[in-house]
Amino acid sequence: MNADEADYCREVEGYLCKKNAGHLIRIVGPAFEMVRGWADQGVPLKVAFRGIDRTCERQAAKTQRRRALRIEFCEADVLAAFDDWRRAIGTGAGQVSEAPPSPTTSLASHIERTVTRLLAVRLNGDAPQLSAAIARVVPELDQLAGGARRARGDARARIIARLAELDAGLVAAAKDHIDPARADALRQEVDADLAPFAARMPEDARRRAALVAYDRLLRESLNLPVIAYER
């Protein structure tokens, strides 16, 4: 075991402790080997945390009486989150620009949920361009949502194409807004996340993956939803 693996396991243990409301369950023995396996596979810590969150949310939905969660019960969700992440950055079986909506989410529902999330975004007064971009997007999305319920064929395709354009415009506004120091920190995080895969990725694929991963982190840092709709 190297120091990086030990640090990784300690970070996971600390995060699980927080999710368990301060109740510490040591990650030792077979559980430790399982978590070390995540590190060996290149599962980024933030992706492991996302998987733990999924397990906690599902457990909370099942019962109001919550027992302390053991890390072993999180493995399936952690690996599923890792698969999602790899597909999103182009290192898995498929490649998409961002996480697509659920197959059960209709076009109209996707647009309505996007509007709700955009309205919930809270920006400081020093983000006039991004605030203006959101203010322009929301009314148009409201209009598109009304047409999306009835749209078929070419009309539906035009709505989906327009969503992609609006999404690109919002990301561009976010890139103009973000502080250079914060942008550098996000790029460093991207490099760290891609490091386990970089050696076996062609240079063009690595650059594309880095751009996609950066956009994803940028959205997360500003709590911006994905406007684009993909099936």
Q: Residue 104: helix, strand or coil by DSSP? A: coil
Cα 159 from Cα 140, distance rounded (Å):
11
pLDDT of residue 216 exceeding 60, the answer is: yes
Instruction: Calculate the alpha carbon distances from 146 to 81, 120, 166, 178 in Å.
Output: 33, 21, 17, 33
pLDDT given at position 95: 40
Mean pLDDT within 87-113 = 61
pLDDT of residue 193 exceeding 90, the answer is: no
pLDDT, tens only, 133-163: 888 999 999 999 888 888 889 999 999 999 9
Cβ neighbours, 10 Å, residue 109: 15
Rg (alpha carbons) of the chain, rounded to whole number? 20
Phi-psi region of 20 (alpha: psi -120 to 50; beta: other; left: phi over 0): alpha
Helix (H) or strand (E) holding 167: helix 153-177
Cα 175 from Cα 171, distance rounded (Å):
6
Mean pLDDT within 96-125 = 69
Cα 67 from Cα 20, distance rounded (Å):
8
pLDDT of residue 91 exceeding 60, the answer is: no
pLDDT-derived band of residue 12, with 50, 70 and 90 as boundaries? very high
pLDDT given at position 158: 92
Find the Cα–Cα–Cα–Cα dihedral 183, 185, 186, 192, rounded to 10°.
150
The residue ranges of every structural domain in the chain are 3-89, 107-222
